[in-house]
């Protein structure tokens, strides 16, 4: 079952004392994310890394206990910084979610609390690392944890030796450290106080019990759609849009003989001005949804600038014919629409508005493929280009239903845009740098005034 709601680009970490069940919980969380949510992908990792030189230094330090808390903390921080910027962040920037068994909170507890180095000092050492968006704290009785350790269930190989903190005394201290820091008795140091902590999730029952607890917490976190800590959604969007444009090169569209002219990556405005395209397309959409022959219980947004409409039409404007599961993959974490709603919207665009052609192959052949008709490519691409401003444009239209669309962009930006609006305009410019101006031979705008000029003329 796919859960309602899309996914974002998060770093989820799993913490807890040795033998608490972190490894099992990490695997379960990855399975939950893959089975129930729609990310570009799910990657699993762990710290310290046993396949990296810096990580091996940290492993050796905790195995012997001879390095001392300061050097040990330095090894972990160095491994974590390298891990963050060469492995984790590149994956987040592609719209993937990363699940890490252990991360910065381990250092804060092991070296900062138990090692007496101080959490502020450990936080300072790790300040350049990724900030976990969500820390899942797994807990169990330290006696049970030690029995798991002694039985060898946590060893990567029979050659692993017992680490210096794998004793009853240390397990009690470690558990107390987690309860103090993650339980809120000790303030979380900056910048790691920006992330969210859930737990303790008590691992004292069956595997099914643990998975149900994790499932409940992961669902609740992702349904709230918190803003990602480490990568901007616009960075991910530019990556996804660039991939979509590259993927269609050399591919052919379906034979939509009744629609002319053919779709173009260069002249997609078809000699029209962007505001005229929005004016005509939004009116046609509303007329189709409110037509007398529309199904009485048609479940479609009335707002043509709503997230589902622009996400589906915009994404299809970048692609040749695609199956639904392919379309959902290209939506990415920012434009994501649930599978149920994607199918419903494609059906509406096909049957009611005529914007999409669904090619139904013969029985026994591949699944149906959907393609946006050439006439609607301009609206789709404008929707993608102006996505950062779509909510402001929609709100403006509700308050100015009789005013010409020609004035919309100037009205919402003003002569002196607010910092937030200026940032949104810059994001639109970055998108147009990928999509092009829509007029063959005309460079896309590269200034905020140029964006306004483009809206009025397409040049």
Q: What's the average model confidence in pLDDT over 36-56?
A: 88
Q: Which residue(s) pair with 138 in the sheet?
A: 201
More confident residue, 104 or 339: 104
User: What global pTM score does this model have?
Assistant: 0.79
More confident residue, 456 or 160: 456
The mean pLDDT value of the chain amounts to 86
Checking if the pLDDT of 103 tops 90, the result is yes
pLDDT at site 160: 46
**The CATH number, out of the four listed (3.40.50.300, 3.30.710.10, 3.90.1150.10, 3.40.190.170), of the domain defined by the range 11-223:** 3.40.50.300
Q: What's the average model confidence in pLDDT over 15-24?
A: 89
Please report the sign of the dihedral spanned by the C-alpha atoms of residue 32, residue 35, residue 36, residue 41.
positive
First and final C-alpha spacing in the chain:
46
CB-count burial class (<10 Å; 0-12, 13-18, 19+) for 116: exposed
Q: What's the average model confidence in pLDDT over 2-10?
A: 55
More confident residue, 297 or 281: 281
User: Residue 149: pLDDT band by 50, 70, 90 thresholds?
Assistant: low
pLDDT at site 138: 96
Reading the block at residue 46, the tokens are 């762990």
Q: What's the average model confidence in pLDDT over 364-382?
A: 85
Residues with Cβ within 8 Å of 193's Cβ and at least 6 positions away in sequence, in order, are: 187
pLDDT at site 457: 85
Reading the block at residue 424, the tokens are 């949104």
Cβ atoms of 347 and 303 closer than 8 Å: no
Sketch the domain layout of the chain as residue ranges: 11-223, 233-457
pLDDT in tens, 54-98: 999 989 887 877 777 788 899 999 999 999 999 999 999 998 999
Neighbours of 151 (CB within 10 A): 10
Q: What is the dihedral of CA 187, 192, 196, 200, to 10 degrees?
A: -60
């Amino acid at each position: 079952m796919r859960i309602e709601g899309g996914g974002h680009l998060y770093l989820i970490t799993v913490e807890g004392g040795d033998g608490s069940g972190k490894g099992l919980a990490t695997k379960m969380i990855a399975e939950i994310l893959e089975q129930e949510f729609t990310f570009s992908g799910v990657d699993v990792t762990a710290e310290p890394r046993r396949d990296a030189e810096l990580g091996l230094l940290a492993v050796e330090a905790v195995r012997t206990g001879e390095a001392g808390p300061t050097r040990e903390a330095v090894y972990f921080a160095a491994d974590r910084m390298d891990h963050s910027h060469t492995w984790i962040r590149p994956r987040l920037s592609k719209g993937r979610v990363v699940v890490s068994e252990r991360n910065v909170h381990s250092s804060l507890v092991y070296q900062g609390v138990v090692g007496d180095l101080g959490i502020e000092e450990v936080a300072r050492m790790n300040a350049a690392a990724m900030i976990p968006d969500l820390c899942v704290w797994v807990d169990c009785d330290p006696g049970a944890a030690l029995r798991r350790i002694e039985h060898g269930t946590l060893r990567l190989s029979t050659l692993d030796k017992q680490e210096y903190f794998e004793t009853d005394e240390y397990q009690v201290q470690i558990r107390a450290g987690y309860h103090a820091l993650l339980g809120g008795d000790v303030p979380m140091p900056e910048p790691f106080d920006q992330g969210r902590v859930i737990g303790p999730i008590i691992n004292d029952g069956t595997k099914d019990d643990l998975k149900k607890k994790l499932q409940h917490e992961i669902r609740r976190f992702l349904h709230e759609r918190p803003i990602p800590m480490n990568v901007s959604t616009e960075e991910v969007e530019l990556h996804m849009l660039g991939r979509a444009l590259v993927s269609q090169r050399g591919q052919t569209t379906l034979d939509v003989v009744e629609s002319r002219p053919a779709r173009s990556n260069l002249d997609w405005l078809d000699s029209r001005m962007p505001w005229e395209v929005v004016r005509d397309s939004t009116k046609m959409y509303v007329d189709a949804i409110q037509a007398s022959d529309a199904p009485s219980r048609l479940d479609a947004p009335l707002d043509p600038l709503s997230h589902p409409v622009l996400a589906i039409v915009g994404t299809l404007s970048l692609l040749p014919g695609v199956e639904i599961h392919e379309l959902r993959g290209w939506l990415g974490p920012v434009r994501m629409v649930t599978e149920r709603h994607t199918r419903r919207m494609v059906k509406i665009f096909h049957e009611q508005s005529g914007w999409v052609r669904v090619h139904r192959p013969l029985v026994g052949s591949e699944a149906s493929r959907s393609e946006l008709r050439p006439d609607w490519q301009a609206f789709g691409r404008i929707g993608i280009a102006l996505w950062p401003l779509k909510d402001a444009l929609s709100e403006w239209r509700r308050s100015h239903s009789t005013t010409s669309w020609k004035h919309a962009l100037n009205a919402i930006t003003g002569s002196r845009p607010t910092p937030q609006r200026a940032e949104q305009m810059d994001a639109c410019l970055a998108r147009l740098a990928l999509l092009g101006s829509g007029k063959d031979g005309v460079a896309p705008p590269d200034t905020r005034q140029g964006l306004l000029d483009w809206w009025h003329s397409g040049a």
